[in-house]
Structure 1
């Protein structure tokens, strides 16, 4: 363990499973949670692994260059993370998951993302719509390139078991270890639920074209065969562009920025989607949805002026504004994000952070200002990064969902 290399300090409450990480005199990076481990960049071009329950520092790596931890991937005993080298080139560094020791580094890797396939392979890829995209399979233990390929654009990627499913033009399924094409065919947009546990046997496809009906289909991962398809009403979604957001309970949520509209549909097991409600923000300036969320029987919307609204599914009443009032009656006006957790929603921004449940505001902190979107852990805790009051360091807090309570060093 290398705690002596970086002045890391953890304050913990074992009973409540709350903790705070600080790098004395400096800051910590944005956390990424994989399994029971929190990975975070720390000063000096190093990377640290913490126990998600206690905050205990398991290891802190040697210098690995500037870390870009939004795409951390874990394959068996290896952790791979994108980094930026001194020459401003993108690279991938792989660390031992138990000790943090560097196993290998790929010096040249134009990355859009990295994903683990099983316990032995990483897949790295680049490319967006309109440009050719490259993809490669990498051995997790050695860093050796197993295979490489190039396609007309890789707009999305999903891992299903040992297969890698690519979106862009048409769907393709590649074997993660060999790169062999297992099947190809069909068009649309790959849908993936953030933070959700996905079934390896199937994947979801959204289709929305000028001369074709909008539909959401369940397809078999091993063959690409369409197993079920749900059609959505063309008239109701006439001005909705882009793909929907998957939410709990077999539902999808649509937001229409310029028309102020929000719609919720049920699709699971249905040939035709069932409308569960539609709502509109007011006609005032910035009355368009910036972010939307649906948890349980409540829909939430954040507009471009930082106000939060809520509506109950199944009720005729429209969106009503929620007052984010902190201590001393101070109201939060500058919110940037809605983050859905298990049974709750976190509203956060440069003005503070608050917790929403069942259409109510449970608490608001106006003295804590997260500088990135919070990360829900479970029904009891969440992670967020925020500067100290004196602004001299940035800390990582594991806080309580019910009260917002956090530990100060």
Structure 2
């Protein structure tokens, strides 16, 4: 494996023979890269330097590393409803502890504690706390059903037959108050981004005859503020909203082809910013690749998977966003990836960057798994193959210009 780096601009490229480099993941400020035979490498995000390479792991789920202080935890031998875990030293990559496969297959970090739980039908209410440094079991509990789970600092907020909070270290119940679906905050699900939620508060969505989004204190469960939403306008939507930055809530129904965006921050009644229906053809839907970046909402819809863009609060509805590769071919069947400042598109052969509904650059990759991964607000990771197909390259490129080292 070879490395070419521009330290001043924090651009770099790793190159290796085909089949060596896997798809990168950014977690805890480090780039994690699968490298053949079940190994995982940690890469410096600014220099592209390999910090360490682990020993081979057994069927690792390298797409979901969980950094917890001095260790990074990797699910292994994962199957439906079951998973094992391996904790690697974050500085050296050596194994700190292993946990055999169990029916607790979901994992989250809460301070120095790993919270493991299950949401499958058979074992859908079990939850446990594990010391992240030693793998020691700290506590166990069981509920009839855990519908949703949020982490706020060292607290765990559950929707388990009502809202309740547990101390992640001891498992002690801190409070039980109210009903609803706790929602992750803005930025929580962006690939490559850190959790941006305020540990002191969390949001709860309550559907029904009077839909309401409330802000609650995570230490007491007390309601601090609430915003009402119009029931009639939301009749098409069966799922809770996705919270976006700027105090906005996005409702989307794929098969129903509806989308609505509201502003709610500091308001007693939510105000609509955007409402549109995608893919007007019968028996079509827009894909799950629906994202909001800045003041623009993007979706892939229609029989040909056309990219559409609409401005929040803009005078017009959605409009097609043509994306053309350098050789003149249209980018077909694209997937969307949202970064803090850019939208990235890829059809497996070409990568494109978009800002404010304008295509900034496109580049051919000739790699069928070249899905882009945002690295902060100014860079993006994607892969390519050499013209002779004897080298596979991972590029850390400039998000605005597409500049990369070759």
TM-score clears 0.5:
yes
Work out whether residues 255 and 289 of structure 1, in 8 Å CA contact, stay in contact via their aligned partners in 2.
Answer: no
Give the aligned partner of residue 84 of structure 1: 77
Give the aligned partner of residue 306 of structure 1: 305
Work out whether residues 236 and 258 of structure 2, in 8 Å CA contact, stay in contact via their aligned partners in 1.
Answer: no
The answer to whether residue 152 in structure 2 is matched with residue 160 in structure 1 is: yes
Give the aligned partner of residue 319 of structure 2: 320
Work out whether residues 348 and 370 of structure 1, in 8 Å CA contact, stay in contact via their aligned partners in 2.
Answer: no
Q: What does the per-residue CA deviation read over 1:147-166, in whole Å, with 9 as the maximum and x for residues that have no partner?
A: 11122222332211111112
The answer to whether residue 51 in structure 2 is matched with residue 58 in structure 1 is: yes
Give the aligned partner of residue 169 of structure 2: 177
Q: In structure 2, what is the Cα distance between the partners aligned to 1:190 and 1:323?
A: 37
Work out whether residues 240 and 256 of structure 1, in 8 Å CA contact, stay in contact via their aligned partners in 2.
Answer: yes
Shift in Å at residue 356 of structure 1? 1.2
Shift in Å at residue 389 of structure 1? 5.4
Give the SS at the match of 2:327: helix
Report 1:184-199 matches (<5 A).
184-192=176-184, 193-194=188-189, 195=193, 196-199=195-198
Give the counterpart of 1:35 among 28, 33, 37. Answer: 28
The answer to whether residue 95 in structure 2 is matched with residue 96 in structure 1 is: no
The answer to whether residue 266 in structure 2 is matched with residue 269 in structure 1 is: yes
Give the SS at the match of 1:92: strand
Q: What does the per-residue CA deviation read over 1:364-386, in whole Å, with 9 as the maximum and x for residues that have no partner?
A: 22445562753212221012345
Give the aligned partner of residue 258 of structure 1: 255
Work out whether residues 83 and 90 of structure 1, in 8 Å CA contact, stay in contact via their aligned partners in 2.
Answer: yes
Shift in Å at residue 321 of structure 1? 0.4
Report 1:102-181 matches (<5 A).
102-118=95-111, 120-128=112-120, 132-181=124-173
The answer to whether residue 369 in structure 2 is matched with residue 371 in structure 1 is: yes
Q: What does the per-residue CA deviation read over 1:283-330, in whole Å, with 9 as the maximum and x for residues that have no partner?
A: 236753213222222221111532101122222211110110111321
Structure 2 residue ranges without an equivalent (≥5): none
Q: What does the per-residue CA deviation read over 1:113-144, in whole Å, with 9 as the maximum and x for residues that have no partner?
A: 222221x3211221246853322111122211
Q: In structure 2, what is the Cα distance between the partners aligned to 1:179 and 1:142?
A: 17
Q: In structure 1, what is the Cα distance between the partners aligned to 2:52 and 2:102?
A: 26
CA, structure 1 residues 40+239, in 2 after alignment: closer, same or farther (shift >3 Å)? Answer: same
Give the aligned partner of residue 214 of structure 2: 217
CA, structure 1 residues 284+52, in 2 after alignment: closer, same or farther (shift >3 Å)? Answer: same
Give the aligned partner of residue 4 of structure 1: none
Work out whether residues 352 and 366 of structure 1, in 8 Å CA contact, stay in contact via their aligned partners in 2.
Answer: yes
Shift in Å at residue 201 of structure 1? 0.4
CA, structure 1 residues 297+154, in 2 after alignment: closer, same or farther (shift >3 Å)? Answer: same
Q: TM-score, normalised by structure 2?
A: 0.89
Give the aligned partner of residue 246 of structure 1: 243
RMSD, matched Cα: 2.5
CA, structure 1 residues 251+390, in 2 after alignment: closer, same or farther (shift >3 Å)? Answer: farther
Work out whether residues 349 and 370 of structure 2, in 8 Å CA contact, stay in contact via their aligned partners in 1.
Answer: no
Q: TM-score, normalised by structure 1?
A: 0.89
CA, structure 1 residues 132+230, in 2 after alignment: closer, same or farther (shift >3 Å)? Answer: same
Shift in Å at residue 224 of structure 1? 1.3
Give the aligned partner of residue 356 of structure 2: 358
Shift in Å at residue 184 of structure 1? 2.0
